[in-house]
Amino acid sequence: MKEKIGKTAGKIWDILQKEEEVAISRFPKMLDEKTSVVQQALGWLAREDKIDYRQEANRTLISLKASERRS
């Protein structure tokens, strides 16, 4: 399971390299993955200080930290 979460975290990171911000609710469908796995992968990225969270109305948006963005 740890490997699956790590791979999902990598996929999220790749998506965020292409898209500036993504709503948390979109990730399970984008990745064809269970919500629980996506949430754990986001936690992994948050623990590594690679993502930022922003609240907009009733949505939570995720983006990569500036230090993680490729030039």
Output the pTM of the full model: 0.92
**CA nearest to 12, candidates 63, 56, 54:** 63
Q: How many domains does the chain have?
A: 1
Residue 71 has pLDDT above 90, yes or no: no
CATH at 9:
1.10.10.10
pLDDT tens digits for 13-38?
999 999 999 999 999 999 999 999 99
Q: Which residues contact 51 (CB under 8 A, 6 or more apart)?
A: 16, 42, 45, 62, 63, 64, 65, 68
The structure tokens listed for 23 are 């709503």
Domain hosting 7: range is 2-68
